Chain A
Amino acid sequence: MQATWTVVRRDLINIIKNPVLMISNMALPLILTALLGYLNRGSYGNAGVTAWDFYGITMILYAILNVAMTAGNSFMEKNLKASNMRVMFSPVSRHSIYLAKITATFLFTSACMLVNLLLVHLIFGVSAGGHLAWAVVLVLLAFDLATSSLGVMACCLFHSEEQANQISSIVINIFAILGGVFFRLDGYGEFVRTLTWLSPVRWISEAVFRTIWDGNTSLVMPVTLCLLLAAAAMCGLCAMTFRTEDYV
């Protein structure tokens, strides 16, 4: 346990020191929120809801999807591979290598996500659910854990960070568009509306928006549980596919 924690600390420092990861987790969601909220300001009138209220939340969901890339980066970036090798030769369980990456990514990105949520709340007045904010944060944290595991799992499956990230980057964007984080798809007809439920983002945004706007938390627990189960399943897949000899 102690050994794993040492690896986690080192991984955390590595992530924080990477400027691209810092920008993509902190600045990008804010820029996208500002931009899309501004572009779509015309479609929300004076009924107490603004475009920021929608895009502030969906862009945080999009940022969490992109955590998979951060996770991949923290796992297999070229200059980190050497340090992974040294951990492999030390008396530390091999599982602690990928578990440490997942933990470090989760800690870093969830901190970023919470700061971003606070910032969009303060700057753009995005409603985060008032006294039900805990439920929103719970779903978002579970989602973050699932995408952290997804990124590391992709690395274990493809054995290379570039390939894993290039594939996940496109899959992520398909999920995001299908989940309706950028614009609504319901106008495209019944068939597309059914398709949108294939994207986990759709379920998560449904849970979050129902909590914030209807005070209805009925989806929170099922969605959170599913996300945690998915995270556990992906960790299990990592355990099955992670072979130290691939990295020598």
Chain B
Amino acid sequence: MNIIRSILRNHFFRMQEKKNYFVVMLAITGVCVLLAVAMTRNTGLTAGVAWVTDKTDAKPVVPAGIQVTLLQDAPPMSALVMNRYDAVVREGAQGLEVTSLHGGEFNAQLKALLEGKGLPAGHSGTRGRGATILGFMTMFILMQASTYMMMYSEDKETKIFRRIVNTPASVPVYLTAQVLFNMVVVVVPPWCVLAVVRVTGTDIGFSLGQAGALLLLLAFLAASFALMMASLFRTADNCVMAGSAIVMITSILAGSFRTFSSLGGGLDALTNILPQKHYLTLISEIEQGAVLAGAWAHLVWILGCALLMMAAGWLVTGRRIRTGMY
């Protein structure tokens, strides 16, 4: 315990030495959280439609969830490729003409919907506010944890680690201290920003206690991942580059930005392994107040993944110490 305390104290001294870096990181964290909150101001939109008409004053009445932009000329093809609009609607002789890149079925559905005949298509992302905010932050928190693990990489690169190995401070204790430090610096700033957002009257979907607990769970996962990566890679920069690429790909696959209903092929099986996927399911269940019996399974899966990665980190480090690499 004493050793953990002194390592943590040492870490905080080193943080002061790298003031610039941590100030910039804090600012970035703030921007990320605020961005995530801003993006959820307007959920529930299903489609953006460019409505080509000469009558620029009368906005057509459309079902909720469809955002209409009135245009005099058809939008260029690039706007459709870049997904600015999902579809172009023209007022033709036989009613509305819908064209899009999504194919005939989508066009027919949208046409029926605009003419008031069809039922609104089920919104694919039924995730609530809080889950959307935390979902966006998942990737940043996982990335940040990798970067905050730099003091471990630094200790290895500057041979301080060799000296630690040869002292009574056992390696497991040292690594535990790294993980604890990592969790603290990863959780506290975003939680504070969320607290400010919440206090100033914006709904974040969770109570502050819930948000804190969920962030802590995510931080545990992130710190374990970071520990594993930092143990595997010998230098900090290779570790950060590989780590952010892995985090990026897995977060997209797990659907932390938008949900994919079914991926097809073997990808569904693959994404079900990803802890982020279970985390996202867990937070949206908690937010909707419908914690199902399966929630425990998600929690166990996340913790299991985290412990597995941490164990991998410890094993690699232990083996390298035994073979005398440090």
Contact = CB atoms under 8 A, between A and B. Distances in A.
Contacts of A32: 248-249
B102 A214 contact: no
B241 A188 contact: no
A39 B260 contact: yes
A45 B76 contact: no
A20 B101 contact: no
Contacts of A191: 38, 41-42
B77 interface: yes
Contacts of A98: none
Interface stretch (A7-15, A133-141, A169-177, A220-228): A169-177
B147 interface: yes
Contact of B147 (A43, A45, A169, A184): A169
25 contacts: A20-B238, A20-B241, A32-B249, A39-B253, A39-B263, A47-B101, A47-B103, A72-B237, A73-B237, A162-B153, A167-B24, A170-B143, A180-B83, A183-B257, A186-B84, A188-B41, A188-B43, A189-B42, A191-B42, A192-B39, A205-B82, A209-B78, A209-B82, A212-B81, A213-B76
Contact of B20 (A31, A36, A158, A195): A158
Contacts of B245: 24, 28
A35 B237 CA distance: 25
B150 A216 contact: no
A213 B240 contact: no
Interface in B52-111: 67, 76-78, 80-85, 99-106
B13 to A, nearest CB: 17
A184 B80 contact: no
Interface stretch (B4-12, B27-35, B114-122): B27-35
A189 B81 contact: no
Contacts, number: 161
Contacts of A165: 237, 240-241
Contacts of A163: 18, 20-21
Given A28-B245, A188-B45, A191-B41, A214 B78 contact: yes
A171 to B, nearest CB: 7
B100 A174 contact: no
Interface in B218-241: 235-238, 240-241
B35 A174 contact: yes
B48 interface: yes
Interface in B234-269: 235-238, 240-242, 244-245, 248-249, 252-253, 257-258, 260, 263, 265, 267
User: Which applies to chain A's interface (DSSP): helix, strand, loop or mixed?
Assistant: helix
Contacts of B77: 49, 213-214
B181 interface: no
B144 interface: yes
A233 interface: no
A156 B114 CA distance: 56
B273 to A, nearest CB: 16
A162 B249 contact: no
B197 interface: no
A166 B248 CA distance: 15
Contacts of A28: 245
Contacts of A182: 252, 257
Contacts of A186: 48, 83-85
A35 B244 contact: no
B195 interface: no
A95 interface: no
Nearest to B80: A49
Interface string B132-147: 0000000110011001
Nearest to A62: B248
